[in-house]
Amino acid sequence: MKRGSMIVRAIWAACLLIGGINHARILLQHGLLWDYNGVGWASAVYWSSLTILDPLVAALLFIRPKLGIPGTVLLIVTNVIHNLAVTARYVPEGEFLIHTATSPFLLGQIGFMLFVAATAPTAWKGAVPGAGQSVPTR
Q: What is the pTM of this model?
A: 0.86
Residue 134 lies in a domain: no
∠ CA 98-102-107 to the nearest 5 degrees?
Answer: 115
Residue 137 lies in a domain: no
Instruction: Convert the pLDDT of each residue in 38-52 to its tens digit.
Output: 888 999 999 999 999
Domain count of the fold of the chain: 1
Burial of 86 (0-12, 13-18, 19+ CB in 10 A): middle
Considering the chain, what percentage of its residues have pLDDT values greater than 70?
Answer: 93
Considering the chain, what percentage of its residues have pLDDT values greater than 90?
Answer: 70
Full residue range of the structural domain in which residue 45 is found = 2-127
Q: What is the mean pLDDT of residues 40-66?
A: 96
Positions of E strands within the chain: none
> Mean pLDDT score of the chain, rounded to an integer?
91
pLDDT of residue 52: 97
